[in-house]
Amino acid sequence: MQQKISITSISSISPLGISATEIWDHYKTTSHHISYADFNGVSTPIAKLSSNGKQVIATLKSENQQYRALDDAVLFGIYVAREAIKNANWKGHTNFGINMGSSRGATTLFETYHKEFLETGRSSTLSSPTTTLGNISSWIAHDLQSDGPTISHSITCSTALHALLNGVAWLQSGLADTFLVGGSEAPLTPFTIAQMKALKIYASETEATFPCQAMNLSKNLNTMFLGEGAAIACLEKGIHANALAVIKGIGYATEPLQHNISISTDAQCFQKSMKMALANTPIEDVDVIVMHAPGTMKGDLSEYNAIKAVFKDDLPALTSNKWKIGHTFGASGMLSIELAILMLRHNEFIPIPYIETTHKIKEINRILINAVGFGGNAVSVLLERPSNN
């Protein structure tokens, strides 16, 4: 890092709600936010937006005729972007960049249009412009009337943290002073669910108290399930008085593919990304790691093995939020950033109820956040408490 970057605002919409107070209150409980829906005749665990989240999206969709034709993934992004710049006091400021990514993009619309094509042999007029990859960032830019660069990408489940890396690069290059970065995902659709089930990684224990066993290294079943949501952060160059957290280090790495969804048993990509993010920070200075930990047997264990390889016997406290809200694909990394920021602000660790922790944390000053996508595209981000907190 050439210089530190402030996160001056973060906004999200997820099964946990839409406000920082509501989200923190839900994190402090031991209950998950999983419900069940029928997909092709099978009861399937999913995590849907909270009721107030659904309401604000319905309101947003109805306020503009053009917005009625947009996918939920786009609407989620517009909503959180509005909230983020409001909370960062960017009122009247339009010269900021936007990098909002998604793993799947406009899944509902794409599946709807494809079904229509199979049935009629024709495609709707808006089928292409409303399902392109750049649709989320471009509509956010339209809604906010921003003047900066507008960027979209998909790097599967590490998409949001790659957006953060990109924003940091723009700020440190001197080409921008402020950037909006994040991810949005609305993957609760029949074909998306079917794809995950085909990989044999989707949770199947519908009667379990905690259907997703993220970070339970002794599980003998894959327990990942999907959730929907979006999160976006305001980045500003330097240290600001209203900073929620400071980006102290960033790291990234990609593994050579052995299989389309493979990752090595000791997650070499995570070892490299964590070491890069730590740079000169002593390992004992890291208080917490928010793991990617999707709830799969191999994925959770390989990430843990990587953490052991880097931190040896001086492991920080470990946690994850996927047992509570599911795997939100491209949005998951920024939702993990949000959890880290909340723990820094409240100086309180959020444990996983079915995992015993022996850590006695008096103060949380630095948190490392991990994310990885299919093919071993790992990102690690080191946050620290700003001095004004």
Q: Looking at the predicted structure, is the pLDDT value of residue 248 above 70?
A: yes
CA distances from 274 to 181, 235, 303, 362 (A): 21, 21, 11, 24
Q: What is the pLDDT of residue 389?
A: 60
Least confident of 22-36, 114-128, 350-364: 350-364
Q: Looking at the predicted structure, is the pLDDT value of residue 135 above 70?
A: yes
Say if residue 225 is in the same domain as residue 258. Answer: no
Of the chain, the percentage scoring pLDDT greater than 70 comes to: 97
Q: Which domain holds residue 329?
A: 249-384
Q: Whose CA is closest to 138, among 108, 112, 106, 169?
A: 106
The DSSP element (H or E) to which 318 belongs, if any, is: strand 317-319
The DSSP element (H or E) to which 237 belongs, if any, is: strand 229-237
Q: What are the pLDDT digits (tens) for 351-384?
A: 999 998 877 788 999 999 999 997 779 999 999 9
Average pLDDT over residues 326-343: 98
Q: What are the pLDDT digits (tens) for 140-191?
A: 999 999 999 999 999 999 999 999 999 999 999 999 999 999 999 999 999 9
Say if residue 223 is in the same domain as residue 340. Answer: no
**Does 389 map to a domain?**
no
Say if residue 299 is in the same domain as residue 368. Answer: yes
Q: Whose CA is closest to 320, among 216, 230, 249?
A: 216
Average pLDDT over residues 213-224: 95
Torsion of CA 369, 347, 76, 142, to 10 degrees: -90
Mean pLDDT value across the chain: 94
Domains: count for the chain: 2
Q: What is the pLDDT of residue 2?
A: 80
Q: What is the pLDDT of residue 124?
A: 93
CATH number of the domain where residue 56 is located: 3.40.47.10
Residue type, 225: F
**Does 242 map to a domain?**
no
Q: Looking at the predicted structure, is the pLDDT value of residue 261 above 60?
A: no
Average pLDDT over residues 286-303: 96
Q: What is the pLDDT of residue 321?
A: 98
Average pLDDT over residues 338-353: 97
**Does 358 map to a domain?**
yes
Q: What is the pLDDT of residue 358?
A: 75
**Does 114 map to a domain?**
yes
Query: DSSP string of 88-119?
Result: TT-TT----EEEEE-SS-SHHHHHHHHHHHHH
Res. 259 pLDDT band, cuts 50 70 90: low
Say if residue 183 is in the same domain as residue 255. Answer: no
Res. 257 pLDDT band, cuts 50 70 90: low
Say if residue 367 is in the same domain as residue 218. Answer: no
Least confident of 61-65, 221-225, 264-268, 366-370: 264-268
Q: What is the pLDDT of residue 255?
A: 83
Say if residue 63 is in the same domain as residue 170. Answer: yes
Q: What does the alpha-carbon distance between residue 378 and residue 158 come to, in Å, rounded to a whole number?
A: 7
Q: What are the pLDDT digits (tens) for 83-115?
A: 999 999 998 888 999 999 999 999 999 999 999
